[in-house]
Chain A
Amino acid sequence: MATTEEVKKLAALARIKIGEAELEKFTSEFDAILAYVGQLEKLELPKSGDEKPVLRNVMREDGGPHAGGTLTQKLVEQFPQREGDALSVKQIISHD
């Protein structure tokens, strides 16, 4: 069972704000969803160990770089705030 405190904490971890009214709704919906996916607990799975993994790593050599600066304008145009070609953000460490 999810509590409103838990949902609040998850929201903080996920960098999302949830208002008090919405919190109740989210918590009760959470309970219904978790009760449903909770059926997995009853699922008996065979002991694994000798199974070959299905996934494999795919590596490639570094290479084929594009010329420097060719994408810069396209990317900086998306910045919410900029100074020249630099992304402008809030000061994180304050001096006072």
Chain B
Amino acid sequence: MTKLANEMTIAEAARTLRARELTVRELWDACAEAAEARNSDLNAFLEIFDADDATIAAAQERIDANDSSLLCGIPLAIKDNILIEGKIASAASKMLENYRATYDATVIKKLKEAGALFFGRTNMDEFAMGSSTEHSAFGPTKNPHDTARVPGGSSGGSATAVAAHMAIAALGSDTGGSIRQPAAFTGLVGLKPTYGAVSRSGLIPLGSSLDQIGPVAKTVEDARILYDAIRGEDALDSTTIPDGLYSTNPPTGGSTHLRVGVPRHLLREGVEADVLTAFDATLESLVQAGHTLVDVELPTSSHALAAYYVVMPAEVSTNLARLDGMRYGFAKRGETLLDDYLLSRTEGFGEETRRRILLGTFVLSSGYIDAYYRKADAARMVLRREFEKAFEACDVIASPTTPSPAFTFGEKSNPLAMYLEDIFTVTANLTGMPAISVPMGTVEREGPSTSFDSAQDKSLGIKKQLPVGIHFTAPHQEEDALFTIGRSVEDSR
């Protein structure tokens, strides 16, 4: 074997396990060794689970019996807002630091049935609010490509865990780009499925009309394997959808040659020059591979981020109202019952969480709900119609995943600057359409002038290659088109 076991993809590991060249135990131990060596520096995992002998033995038995589940015996990293029965699920918040999940999320149930192993729970921005993992109550996660930089967020721990080969693949959650942006920053593939494709039962909610659980993986094939395992209608989440709910017109360009829509008007400003160069080069390689490019206009897209930062905080303020220090979670006691609520919420929530709760309370308050929330909700519908219209002329719509590569710690201390990170990714959450980020090469950046800690100062002036991603959106339930175009991008590199 030329590759270490922990560096394999799901597909490779599954093959090697079945060829009897590797055991489930050896695969687990390889991940554990990598985590032992790197996690204290990278802080990808909030907790690494002990190897469970019975589960490992059961997975090995299934493989020995040539079980067809490719995920059998594969160690996965799970974002800390997805419930695994008996394990802590803190959403990287002091509020839920000691909260132990009383049931399995539906995705966890499905993965257990598939024989997958859970390696650990990964760091994230508190309650998934952020784009850098700097808002975790338990310290930031570092980007393995340059430890002076963020891995993106909010699923930054999941991305770093996979990019640093401490787990074979991971689950993240995506409310405005939280799977795709960290995947782009760490050179991985990240998929935000169609809203309703994957059950949210057992996901600690952020914005319930936007949230989806999805894979963070090394390849498009791996993302597909994980997606296939977790998707499906679920009685425990009434927003899940049956197959074929949206009309599924076969892509007119044929299943392998797609029409790629490019909204040039959105790329004229704000995107860094070398990111745009990488994007254009990738599009060119897609043309070489037989796909065609189409100009598309999405005029309301320029307002998408504004609409998102109204809808999302509104849902945050509602969802997090349940955390009051009464029945579970962080509980601080004062003089009166009101003090109990105030103290528990003020000390339990971090700054960004409190900021968004207040914003949400504001946009929903009676004087402002028409100007902000209802307007944003209406804009969301217009945006969806625009995308549906655009998809009459193309099969997927492409953009860079982010305007720039991974930024340095503290670089986006202004909340609005951080919010602008999501500019290309939020539309898919607002429209409910599926979207994928696939690596499209690297760009070069110098070490930061002010670094995260003094030990990093030696990186000053050293040039690093940082991954960037290309982003595709498809119509509802057309994940297949995303996998096809994603594979094309991989093949061209």
Contacts and interface: CB of A to CB of B under 8 A. Distances in A.
A27 B397 CA distance: 38
Interface string A17-35: 1100000001001101110
A75 B354 CA distance: 27
A79 B100 CA distance: 11
B79 interface: no
Contacts of A15: 321, 324, 338, 341-342, 345
B300 A43 contact: yes
A16 B300 contact: no
A36 B358 contact: no
B48 interface: no
Interface string B70-110: 00000000000000000000000000000110100000000
B361 interface: yes
For the residues of B in contact with A, the DSSP-based class is helix
A46 B355 contact: no
Contact of B358 (A7, A32, A54): A7
A39 B376 CA distance: 10
Interface in A12-66: 13-18, 26, 29-30, 32-34, 36-41, 43, 45-46, 48, 51, 54, 58, 60
A29 to B, nearest CB: 6
B305 to A, nearest CB: 8
Interface in B291-328: 300, 303, 305-307, 309-310, 317, 321, 324-328
Interface in A64-92: 71, 74-75, 77-81, 87, 89-90, 92
Given A60-B238, A87-B326, A45 B382 contact: yes
A72 B303 CA distance: 47
Interface of A: 2, 6-7, 10-11, 13-18, 26, 29-30, 32-34, 36-41, 43, 45-46, 48, 51, 54, 58, 60, 71, 74-75, 77-81, 87, 89-90, 92
Contacts of A41: 371, 375
The 8 closest A-B pairs by CB, nearest first: A80-B331, A78-B328, A58-B238, A74-B102, A17-B346, A37-B306, A15-B341, A90-B337
B359 A30 contact: yes
Given A39-B306, A79-B328, A32 B300 contact: no
A46 B102 CA distance: 47
Given A2-B362, A54-B384, A79-B328, A43 B340 contact: no
B235 A60 contact: yes
B81 to A, nearest CB: 17
6 contacts: A2-B362, A15-B341, A17-B343, A18-B354, A41-B371, A80-B331
B381 A36 contact: no
Contacts of A60: 235, 238
A26 B102 contact: no
Contacts of B99: 78
Interface string B33-65: 000000000000000000000000000000000
Given A7-B358, A11-B358, A48-B378, A92 B337 contact: yes
* Interface residue range, chain B: 35 or more
Interface string B163-180: 000000000000000000
A37 B340 contact: no
Contacts of B227: none
Contacts of B363: 37
B358 A90 contact: no
A7 B361 CA distance: 10
A71 B309 contact: no
A77 B88 CA distance: 13
B429 to A, nearest CB: 15
Contacts of A81: 331
A16 B365 contact: no
Nearest to A35: B416
B454 interface: no
Contacts of A89: 326, 337, 340
B371 A36 contact: no
Most buried by B among A10, A58, A71: A10
B249 interface: no
B358 A40 contact: no
A33 B382 contact: no
A36 B321 CA distance: 26
B359 A33 contact: yes
B102 A43 contact: no
Interface in B350-380: 354-355, 357-359, 361-363, 365, 371-372, 375-376, 378-379
A45 B378 contact: yes
A51 to B, nearest CB: 7
A18 B347 CA distance: 11
A16 B357 contact: yes
Contacts of B338: 15
Given A29-B415, A36-B416, 4 more contacts: A13-B361, A30-B359, A32-B415, A37-B376
A90 B357 contact: no
A78 B100 contact: yes
Nearest to A79: B327
Most buried by A among B306, B342, B379, B419: B306
